[in-house]
Amino acid sequence: MQVFPPLFPPLSLYVHIPWCVQKCPYCDFNSHAQKGGIPEQEYIAHLLADLRQDLARYQASIGERTLHSIFIGGGTPSLFSAQGIAHLLQGIEQQIPFAPNIEITLEANPGTAEASRFAGYVEAGVNRLSLGIQSFDDEKLQRLGRIHNSEEAKSAVQMAKDAGFKRINLDLMHGLPNQTLTEALDDLRQAIALEPSHLSWYQLTIEPNTMFAYRPPTLPDDDALWDIFEQGHQLLSQAGYGQYETSAYAKAGDQCRHNLNYWRFGDYLAIGCGAHGKLTFPNGDILRFSKTKHPKGYMRGEYLYEEKPISLNERPFEFFMNRFRLLEPVPKIEFENLTGLSCDVIAKQIDWAKSQKYIQENHRTWQITEQGKLFLNELLTEFLPE
């Protein structure tokens, strides 16, 4: 039962740049190996035209809202020049105002040619850099299809700091092909020694339609993976990194605000090949939409691929699907404010989750338990529409 129109959550923007130097064998993101030059200026013009269309189409949702965060992901966005990123950000701000403390993240690979652009990205307005390190073991990096080595990775972090980046995330994987506990913890120690403000430390999984899916490597077994996680978590905690999401650790105050907005059922515009967005409207509608995946179609001006409203009975699952990935308590008022539903509609599911010891409840919040984290998929399935 809908009890009132949902309130507007913060508004973010995701920008997708689909090109990479080469496709990694584990990657299932919408990315394309560059063949010849990248049409940087032309693509940026399409990104800004895509945004213009969205702002007109979704004016009822956007209104006078400002952008809380921007995340430029890929692909490898750092293949674009600093001048290109500056032009993109200026074009976005001319169309929709930035909040005074806006967080602007750019994903980058630690190849030396790209690292030399870091000062230009800072000047363009990027204030958070996310570096795709993945490992500090050269043999493992080759196995993962990465184009950098361990020394280039460390050099890129230092260059980013020298360029003026105060907020740096390192993406690091564990559970790599034939990886031992010692190797996984060594990777983590080397990452911690670089003192990033944020670490995304996640397990390699074999995704459909990737090269690893067709030729699966030998990965550590479940017992080994548990040991890696348990001892790695301890290392990170001792180094002052707090876990705030399943795979995300940060120094105090340095959580990724853009990702927090996703996980808290926030709103986000999305431009670029295959980008996904979500918006809330004053009449109570909540809409998901996606963009054309392939650059050829997208650069013909065919931006919008699909729109799909989130029905009332889908909203509990949609809300908790991301919210229970966060380790913080979930305020009940947020569920009501952001879904437009009364807590009464999920009373049965909440009672079941408490009986399984998956969540704890008080008069204001729900809190996922250690047991709930272990059986997250089973917990979430309970909120699926019948």
Task: Give me the pLDDT at residue 186, please.
Answer: 97
In a domain, 269, yes or no: no
Weakest-pLDDT range from 4-8, 57-61, 311-315, 380-384: 4-8
Weakest-pLDDT range from 94-98, 107-111, 234-238: 107-111
* Same-domain pairing of 252 and 334: no
* Same-domain pairing of 257 and 334: no
In a domain, 279, yes or no: no
Out of 3-7, 88-92, 382-386, give the one with best mean pLDDT: 88-92
CATH code of 173's domain: 3.20.20.70
Residue whose C-alpha is closest to residue 19's, from 51, 53, 42: 42
Question: What is d(CA 333, CA 356) in angstroms, rounded to the nearest whole number?
Answer: 23
* Same-domain pairing of 337 and 246: no
In a domain, 314, yes or no: no
Do residues 34 and 21 lie in contact, with contact meaning Cβ atoms separated by under 8 Å?
yes
* Same-domain pairing of 77 and 193: yes
Residue whose C-alpha is closest to residue 228's, from 189, 283, 282: 189
Task: Give me the pLDDT at residue 313, please.
Answer: 94
In a domain, 317, yes or no: no
| Chain segment 344-379, per-residue pLDDT in tens | 999 999 999 999 999 999 999 999 999 999 899 999
Q: How many residues does the chain have?
A: 386
Do residues 140 and 106 lie in contact, with contact meaning Cβ atoms separated by under 8 Å?
no
Identify the band that residue 215 occupies on the pLDDT scale cut at 50, 70 and 90.
Answer: confident
Strand partners, 108: 131
* Same-domain pairing of 253 and 355: no
What does the mean pLDDT of the chain come to? Answer: 92
In a domain, 277, yes or no: no
Torsion sign, CA atoms 121, 125, 126, 127: positive
| pTM, two decimal places | 0.94
In a domain, 318, yes or no: no
DSSP 341: B
Task: Give me the pLDDT at residue 4, please.
Answer: 66
Q: pLDDT at residue 28 above 70?
A: no
Report cis status (omega within 30 of 0) of the bond before 75: yes
The continuous run of DSSP H or E covering 20 comes out as strand 19-20
| Chain segment 186-213, per-residue pLDDT in tens | 999 999 999 999 999 999 887 777 676 6
Torsion sign, CA atoms 134, 78, 161, 91: negative
The residue to which tokens 């399935």 are assigned? 381
Identify the band that residue 386 occupies on the pLDDT scale cut at 50, 70 and 90.
Answer: confident
Q: Please, how many CA atoms are within 13 Å of residue 352, restricted to the half-sphere of its CB? A: 10
CA–CA distances in Å: residue 185 to residues 144, 194, 230, 356: 18, 15, 11, 33
CA–CA distances in Å: residue 170 to residues 15, 160, 230, 232, 341: 20, 12, 20, 15, 38
Q: Which of 261, 285, 313 is the last residue of a domain?
A: 261
Question: What is d(CA 326, CA 22) in angstroms, rounded to the nearest whole number?
Answer: 33
* Same-domain pairing of 97 and 206: yes
* Same-domain pairing of 338 and 239: no
Mean pLDDT, range 222-241, rounded to an integer? 96
Question: What is d(CA 188, CA 149) in angstroms, rounded to the nearest whole number?
Answer: 16
In a domain, 292, yes or no: no
Q: How many structural domains comprise the chain? A: 2
* Same-domain pairing of 237 and 348: no
| Chain segment 238-284, per-residue pLDDT in tens | 999 999 998 999 999 999 999 999 999 999 999 999 999 999 999 99
Q: pLDDT at residue 106 above 90?
A: yes
Domain that holds residue 379: 330-385
